[in-house]
């Protein structure tokens, strides 16, 4: 039985990945989920699998290097899928320190723990071990509005403390591959959306606010472009890189779904009106009047667009979910899990939301 160590597995992408892996492999794998359960880590995301005998949750912080070493000593880890990261740009602008600690020093701890557990006396590494570092397209910077794509060879040009911290962690992984022959891959993905996403991110924020008749805050002119990827497609890509990717390679995972932010919001409003029954009182207030333009984010990158040519050619991956279909799936999930949304939008999240948007 292959054992996977998933960091940040109680978060949005991590929990979707764990669900995907159990759906695909069932009892043929074991998953150790390590998560510090910060504001975006939520064990409710995994309540349907928490009693599985081949699943173990460990509450721990990747910044605790000693604890990470202990986990590798206790379990015979075959694969690491490293999601754990601070990931919201606005938070990184307000508090860069925690992004450096988690994303850079935490990644260093994970590399050191895996290296210590997997390295042979002669400096080679045990057969079948692999470390997959999950990163972002934001490390590449910004593209012109009129064309071009991010490729694996695109020079790094991060513009926010978040993207700078992820770029730093990418370079750490690259350095371990080059210096030690450490068995690893890096994936850089476009913006994800889907079930279990914490509602500070654009799509769940807009769904939640629209359902409550709250304003829909849009940065600047709303024409910033992102490439969107349904989270299950990302999980599939990570698994395929683990299984078929060439060691030491970086793979971009993108959805070929470029959309302006304002276009996303119009699509959400349209889908909400389509999905809500006519007798639902919320339907009356879901309209474009809720859209409110706010002061633009500092250092706001204009356009991201990622080219997944390499992963398609070498690994055989391509996305299955068209954008509007994915939005409908996401909205349906939030309709069916309104208690989940209520639980995560109380307390600290509300205070954060007010702090970020009340004066804009």
Active site residues: 137-138, 162
User: Could you tell me whether strands 225-230 and 130-136 are parallel, antiparallel, or unpaired per DSSP bridges?
Assistant: unpaired
- Give burial (CB, 10 Å; 0-12/13-18/19+) of 232: buried
d(CA 175, CA 233) in angstroms, rounded, equals: 28
Long-range Cβ contacts of 204-210 (<8 Å, 24+ apart)? 204/330, 204/334, 204/341, 206/264, 206/265, 206/268, 207/268, 207/272, 207/330, 207/331, 207/334, 208/334, 208/341, 208/345, 209/290, 210/268, 210/269, 210/272, 210/286, 210/290
For β-strands 2-7 and 79-82, DSSP reports them as parallel
| 3-class secondary-structure state, position 252 | strand
| Integer Cα distance of 233 and 22 in angstroms | 15
* Angle separating helix axes 261-275 and 323-336, nearest 10 degrees: 50
Distance CA 26, CA 114 (A): 25
Query: Rounded to a whole number, what is the largest CA-CA distance in the chain?
Result: 70
Residue 55 sits at the vertex; the CA angle it makes with 49 and 61, to the nearest 5 degrees, is: 105
Rg (Cα) of the chain, in Å, rounded? 20
Specify whether the CB–CB gap between 80 and 14 falls below 8 A: no
């Amino acid at each position: 039985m292959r054992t996977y160590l998933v960091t940040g597995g109680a978060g949005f992408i991590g929990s979707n990945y764990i669900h995907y892996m159990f759906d695909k492999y069932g009892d043929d794998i074991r998953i150790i989920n390590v998560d510090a359960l910060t504001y975006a880590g939520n064990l409710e995301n995994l309540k349907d699998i928490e009693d599985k005998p081949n699943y173990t949750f460990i509450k721990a912080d990747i910044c605790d290097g000693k604890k990470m070493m202990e986990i590798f000593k206790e379990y015979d880890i075959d694969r690491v899928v490293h999601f754990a990261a601070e990931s919201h740009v606005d938070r990184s602008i307000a508090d860069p320190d925690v992004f450096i600690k988690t994303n850079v020093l935490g990644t260093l701890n994970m590399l050191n723990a895996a290296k210590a557990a997997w390295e042979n006396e002669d400096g080679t590494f045990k057969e079948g071990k692999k470390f997959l570092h999950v990163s972002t397209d934001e490390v590449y910077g910004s593209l012109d509005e009129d064309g071009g794509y991010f490729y694996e060879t695109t020079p790094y040009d991060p513009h926010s403390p978040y993207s700078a911290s992820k770029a730093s962690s990418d370079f750490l992984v690259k350095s371990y591959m080059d210096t030690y022959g450490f068995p690893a891959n890096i994936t850089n993905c476009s913006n994800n959306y889907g079930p279990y996403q914490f509602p500070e991110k654009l799509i769940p924020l807009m769904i939640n606010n629209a359902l409550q008749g709250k304003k829909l805050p849009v940065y600047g002119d709303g024409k910033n472009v992102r490439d969107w990827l349904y989270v299950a497609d990302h999980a599939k890509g990570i698994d395929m890189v683990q299984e078929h990717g060439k060691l030491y390679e970086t793979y971009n995972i993108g959805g070929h779904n470029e959309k302006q932010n304002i276009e996303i919001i119009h699509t959400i409003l349209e889908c909400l009106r389509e999905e809500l029954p006519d007798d639902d009182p919320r339907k009356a207030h879901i309209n474009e009047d809720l859209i409110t333009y706010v002061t633009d984010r500092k250092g706001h990158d204009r356009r991201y667009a990622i080219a997944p040519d390499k992963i398609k050619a070498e690994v055989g991956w391509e996305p299955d979910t068209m954008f509007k279909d994915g939005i409908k799936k996401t909205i349906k999930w939030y309709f069916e899990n309104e208690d989940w949304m209520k639980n995560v939008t109380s307390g600290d999240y509300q205070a954060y939301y007010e702090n970020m948007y009340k004066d804009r």
